[in-house]
Amino acid sequence: MSFVVKMNKSQSSSNHNNGMNGKSMNGNAVHHVSVKTHVNPDKMKSNKPRWTVRASEMSKNTLNPIRAIVDGMKLTPNPEKPMIALSIGDPTVFGNLPTDDTVLQAMKEAIDSYKYNGYAPSVGYQKSREAVANFYSRAEAPLESKDVILASGCSQAIELAISVLCNPGDNILVPCPGFSLYKTLAVSMGIQVKLYNLLPEKSWEIDLQHLESLIDEKTACVIVNNPSNPCGSVFTKDHLQKIISVASRNCVPILADEIYGDMVFPGRDFYPMAHLSSDVPILSCGGLAKRWLVPGWRMGWILIYDSNNIFGNEIREGLVKLSQRILGPCTVVQGALESILNNTPMEFYQSTVSFLKSNSEICFSELSTVPGLNPVMPSGAMYIMVGIEMEQFPEFQNDVEFTERLVTEQSVFCLPATAFEYPNFFRIVVTVPEEMMVEACVRIREFCARHYRPHSQDSNDLDQ
């Protein structure tokens, strides 16, 4: 048997003949030697390729906390009470909030035209991007079609935005409580997540000092979600300006998740962040899912706002390149987009937010008189957060156990806010039909009355 023995400093090792006549690639001397050897049959076996198919590191680092928590809960409803799920952020599940007829009509026409069955450019048709740009363009923050990247839902828009702004090892600042997707995406990409606090006693405004204290040289962007999931909060103009000042002082771009943009209750105003920023570049992510009540149509977008040319061509080109990995935005919906944006009547939007406000008020006024619960009245989006005074419910360790037993006894399912990294709260989705909301609140009251054990000041004194 002939081996090639490569001699280097201290070791010799066997190698295949590289046909380089005594010279290895790196210039070390190579000697051909003949050796008699006993071949160990076990070793031969170990050289044989073996099946080792393992899930990738990325897949192992991908965790959806909502799934992780909900799948771990024992959700066995009381067979005597029909289940009321207040946990799903999909406004279509109960059929009480259909999209507008003009939206459906636009989609039917797009299908019937036979024009939208093929591949579109990866960032979307020029005409559809232009429609989005025209819809959102304002004098103080103008948009052209080149400033719009279409995507498969707001989720893909967020993924593209994070991917173009961050490298592995960077960090992003994320609201707490907040929508879990930011962390799910970032962690799987090797990006560190730093949570900044929202303050329930200030209608979930950002703790600006805390936010600023987290910024360092590795901070690639601040994610701001307004209106908020899970809080239903809507930031005032003044507060948004303060957030922008923090970003400006520290030269950090903003990723504004504005999927609930304009979904604010009558009497409140929604300010897109980009309309208030004079220097901070902003990627605003949005889509059709919530305002047009068609989350399954998977149409989202990024609006690129860069009045000071800080993103320049680089970020735009990066987004175009990233969009080419997978063709995201559905072509048929793109065909319907111009008509959806231009023809949906104002009354449709108004009636949706009026309904959400009315249901929120029912829920808030019912639950704010339940001993042990502290709901925070929302101003927009589709959610209400409810604080649990855990010490008054000593049977339960935490919000997960509390909401689990609420299912067992009352067949009402609310999402424990541990899923949003915010224990001792639960989130209620307010898109359910009014009578379900009323019934759910009655049952929550009954549940709390049964388990409430007031931990009075007197007993505290006695303990001491």
Ligand X SMILES: Cc1ncc(COP(=O)(O)O)c(C=O)c1O
Q: Which stretch binds ligand X (CB under 6 A): 47-55, 153-161, 202-210, 393-401?
A: 153-161
Token pair for 124:
């979307």
Q: Which is nearer to ligand X, 128 or 411 (CB)?
A: 128
Give least dist CB 300 to ligand X, A. Answer: 5
Q: How many CB atoms lie within 10 A of CB 215?
A: 19
Tokens of 120: 């579109």
Is residue 287 at the binding interface for ligand X, with CB under 6 A as the rule? yes
Query: Could you tell me the smallest distance in angstroms from the CB atom of residue 165 to ligand X?
Result: 17
C-beta closer to ligand X: residue 253 or 287: 287
Least Å from the CB of residue 257 to ligand X: 5
Round to whole Å and give the CA distance between 121 and 137: 22
Structure tokens at 66: 């909502």
Q: Is 437 helix (H, G, I), strand (E, B) or coil?
A: helix
Overall size of the chain counted in residues? 464
Of 312, 235, 323, 262, nearest in space to 136 by CA: 262
Query: Judged by CB under 6 A, which of 132, 211, 254, 259 binds ligand X?
Result: 259
With CB under 6 A as the contact rule, the residue among 123, 132, 154, 388 that binds ligand X is 154
Which segment (151-159, 312-320, 357-365, 427-435) binds ligand X by CB under 6 A? 151-159
Closest to ligand X by CB, 257 vs 306, is: 257
- Report the distance separating Cα 256 and Cα 175, nearest Å: 11
- Which range binds ligand X by CB under 6 A, 152-160, 261-269, 387-395, 443-451? 152-160
Q: Of 333 and 441, which CB lies nearer to ligand X in the complex structure?
A: 333
Distances (CA, A) of 379 to 96, 231, 414: 21, 9, 20
User: Residues 61-100: x/- map of binding to ligand X (CB under 6 A)?
Assistant: ----------------------------x-----------
Residue 153 is a binding residue for ligand X (CB under 6 A): yes
Nearest-approach distance from CB 113 to ligand X, in angstroms? 24
* Binding test (CB under 6 A) with ligand X, winner from 295, 329, 378, 387: 295
The strand pair at 30-34 and 2-7 is best described as antiparallel
Distance in Å, CB of 343 to ligand X, minimum: 21
Return the DSSP state at 131. Answer: H
Which of 179, 271, 413, 425 lies at the binding interface for ligand X (CB under 6 A)? 179
CA-to-CA distance for 124 and 333, rounded, in angstroms? 10
Query: What's the N-to-C CA distance of the chain in angstroms?
Result: 86
Within 10 Å of residue 213's Cβ, how many Cβ atoms?
11
For the purposes of burial, counting CB atoms within 10 Å of the CB of 380, is it exposed (0-12), middle (13-18) or buried (19 or more)?
buried
Report d(CA 308, CA 337) in Å as an integer. 29
**Could you say whether residue 329 binds ligand X (CB under 6 A)?**
no
Residue number with the shortest CB distance to ligand X?
A: 153
Asked if residue 257 binds ligand X (CB under 6 A), the reply is yes
Q: From the CB of 150, what's the least distance to ligand X, in Å? A: 12
Residue 300 makes contact with ligand X by CB under 6 A: yes
In the complex with ligand X, the residue whose CB is nearer, 150 or 259, is: 259
Q: Which listed residue (225, 344, 403, 418) binds ligand X by CB under 6 A?
A: 225
Q: How many residues bind ligand X (CB under 6 A)?
A: 13
Is residue 289 a contact residue for ligand X (CB under 6 A)?
yes
Query: At its nearest, how many Å lie between ligand X and the CB of residue 339?
Result: 19
Binding segment for ligand X (CB under 6 A), chosen from 103-111, 148-156, 306-314, 325-333, is 148-156
Asked if the bond preceding 41 is cis, omega within 30° of 0, the reply is no
Q: Answer whether 396's CB lies under 8 Å from 443's CB.
A: no
Which of 107, 448 has the CB closer to ligand X? 107
Choose among 279, 275, 304, 299: nearest CA to 289. Answer: 299
User: Are 178 and 184 contacting, i.e. CB atoms less than 8 angstroms apart?
Assistant: no
Helix pair 434-451, 346-367: axis angle to 10 deg: 20
Using the minimum distance from each CB to ligand X, give the nearer residue, 133 or 381.
381
Stretch that binds ligand X, among 64-72, 149-157, 325-333, 423-431 (CB under 6 A): 149-157
- What does DSSP say about strands 171-176 and 84-85: parallel, antiparallel, or unpaired? unpaired
Instruction: Give backbone dihedrals phi and psi of 310, rounded to 5 degrees, phi first.
Output: -90, -40
Give the footprint of ligand X on this chain (CB under 6 A): 89, 153-155, 179, 225, 229, 257, 259, 287, 289, 295, 300
